[in-house]
Amino acid sequence: MTTTLAIANQKGGVAKTTSVASIGAAFAETGQRVLLVDLDPQACLTFSLGIDPEDLELSIYHVLTQGTEAADVVVATDDGVDLLPATIELARAEADLLTRTGREQAIKAALEDLVDDYDWVLLDCPPSLGILTVAALTAAQAVLIPLQCETLSHRGVGQLLDTVHDVRRFTNRKLEVWGVLPTLFDGRTNHARRVLDTISETYDLEVVEPPIPKTIRFAEAPAAGRSILATSRTSKGAQAYREVAATLQKRANRPARKRKA
């Protein structure tokens, strides 16, 4: 059975796209079949996996607004995951979908014939709480919230959880919150841990361990068009994402597959 997981936070700069690419690559390392969906008009996930959006004739925009089959848009990446890419055209999708009946179901409907080909579908939500994020939450079984470990970083978590509540009420009553993923974590200070404790207590959210450390290796990976698991395989950041992926696999009750020889 496919697990569709939305990675969402309307605040930028929280390593959301890095987390999608890295967790996806970690799943792929264990033999899982993975589809990543870029829902951000900035197309950062598409760029980071070595694909130039300007070279694409079709994107997730055409799937959502023009009825293009998702299977005709999927591209393979060097990280062993498939990608539904984005282009700047996606910025028009909010307006195009706004007047459509069932707009909240747009992503779920678009992926319906495709999801059974994968063990995991990871949705890289845009940094907003607009229709694309709502549609992603409607399509997902669960949501993971990446969060930078700084004092002001959790401002807006309440708004996101309000949106989750509304989605549960109106379009996806089974949506689960799998917790907060700490990113850009500086283990040399007590401050970051205090921030996590505050978030856990204030919002009653699970903190997914281990925290993702702050490292320059994350900035180097997109330039190579790969995830950190490919560019710095033995780094602390890569290993942290492998452990997070293992935690998520247990949460989904999905054992790792044996690698093919």
pLDDT over 90 at 85, yes or no: yes
Look at residue 75 and tell me if it is in a domain: yes
Name, of 45-59, 151-165, 242-256, the range with top average pLDDT. 45-59
Average the pLDDT over 175-199 and give the result.
Answer: 83
Torsion sign, CA atoms 132, 103, 37, 31: positive
- pLDDT value at residue 261: 35
pLDDT over 50 at 175, yes or no: yes
Token pair belonging to 214 = 């702050």
Token pair belonging to 20 = 């999608």
Q: Going along 93-232, which residue ranges are E strands?
A: 120-124, 142-148, 176-183
Average the pLDDT over 15-22 and give the result.
Answer: 93
Residue 215 main-chain phi, psi, to 5 deg: -155, 145
Q: pTM of the predicted model, to two decimals?
A: 0.92
Average the pLDDT over 59-87 and give the result.
Answer: 96
Number of domains making up the chain:
1
pLDDT in tens, 211-250: 898 876 776 777 777 888 888 888 898 999 999 999 999 9
Look at residue 79 and tell me if it is in a domain: yes
Look at residue 259 and tell me if it is in a domain: no
pLDDT over 60 at 257, yes or no: no
Look at residue 258 and tell me if it is in a domain: no
CATH number (domain holding residue 136): 3.40.50.300
- pLDDT value at residue 226: 85
Look at residue 260 and tell me if it is in a domain: no
- pLDDT value at residue 12: 78
Q: Which domain holds residue 116?
A: 3-251
